[in-house]
Amino acid sequence: MQRIYLDNCLTSKPDPQVVEAMMPYLTDHFYFPGNFISTGSLAKKAISDFKKTIAQSMNAEEQEIHLTSSGTAANNVGIKGYIMANADKGGHIICSEIDYPDILTNAAFFEESGFDVTYLGADKDGLINLDELQNAITNETILVMTTFANHVMGTIQPIKKISEIIKNKNTQTALFVDAGQAYGRMLIDVKELGIDMMSVSAHKIHGPQGAGALYVKKGINLSQTKHGIVRMDDLDTGGISMAALAGFAKAVEIQFKDLDNNIKYIRSLQNRLLEGIQKNIDHIYINGPIGENRICHNLNVSMDYIEGEAIMMMLDLAGITVATGSACASQGLKANYILMATGRNFVQSHGSMKFTLSKFNTENEIDYVIEKLTEIVKTLRERSPLTKN
């Protein structure tokens, strides 16, 4: 059987149509945008079209979209750019303990630079504490940062409620959203949700690696964080792969053409996997909410008495790629910080498995994963000194 890939949280397989859309920009149309000459004008028109496609997918306007070389670049351009441009208005920033590393490392950077940072807590399902948010916002708060869909637990944050709390407390406070795991897997209307800035990434939705985008609401000012010659975008200066941007736009076009059915299909695979695990394996714990409050492609399960890294490696030998929060598979040989922050113990964190699905997965693949996972868990528990008789 061909390898079964269930680590789409990390990156996803490029759609064949995406690869096809990229090819002309790797061969004949390799040039950068420019003025007065036909090659430059052609590339300039293409960039405009790419932005329009991305903008339409989130109910934004073309001029509100900034193209970047990655989702991480979009996060840094947005967060650093906004804080630098608005530092004269206040020195307080808010995020949560369970945010994506891009947000947390930026928060730590500004905290070391003298800003006051509040880290909100979260409940057992990974929902941030809205009462803490309400109480934390002051006249000094210039930015609230959050992760739309949690990359570990799959939890979808109530972005509209968060935005309403912010604007009711301080109209000068902006909301930055990392939507890397949410974009293309749920409907996002930036105007309806009250989002000021939002980052997205191409390779999470079957686009190419090396392209991202940042939505910046009209009227929001950002300082320059990367200096150099402007090729594609005035905020992420320098060259960005035209082929990658073409692939990104094509991936967006495909993903949003029939978004509801895409979501329903992936959700059905998620439910099939969950039901199979619950039926065949005991002593498990589902990390994050079950149902509509969980992003459709993510399932995270802790399995008692065994290490997640052992499960991951044995699944790999069976031709299945998954992720784990277990010690040796995570940076720094530590238990997963999100699982620990939401009340899991070390055993549950180290025994966690994260399955992230895509439209390219099939029911037969899910059934095979359930079969092999059941066998592996049984074998490992028989060997484990932690197993209770």
The rounded distance, in Å, linking the Cα atoms of 144 and 129 is: 13
Same domain, 218 and 310: no
Domain that holds residue 290: 259-382
Same domain, 153 and 168: yes
Average per-residue pLDDT in the chain?
93
CATH code of the domain in which 65 resides: 3.40.640.10
Same domain, 217 and 273: no
Residue 39 has pLDDT above 60, yes or no: yes
DSSP 332: G
Residue at a domain's end among 207, 237, 257: 257
Question: 174-178 and 197-201 as β-strands: parallel, antiparallel, unpaired?
Answer: parallel
Each residue's pLDDT tens digit, 73-114: 999 999 999 999 999 999 999 999 999 999 999 999 999 999
DSSP 204: G
Q: What pLDDT does residue 239 have?
A: 76
Each residue's pLDDT tens digit, 286-313: 999 999 999 999 999 999 999 899 999 9
Mean pLDDT of 231-254: 89
Catalytic residue flag (residue 328): yes
Mean pLDDT of 194-206: 98
Q: What pLDDT does residue 328 have?
A: 45
Each residue's pLDDT tens digit, 318-342: 999 999 865 444 455 567 888 888 8
Out of 9, 95, 296, 328, which one is annotated catalytic? 328
Q: Which helix (H) or strand (E) holds 321?
A: strand 320-321
Q: What pLDDT does residue 184 have?
A: 97
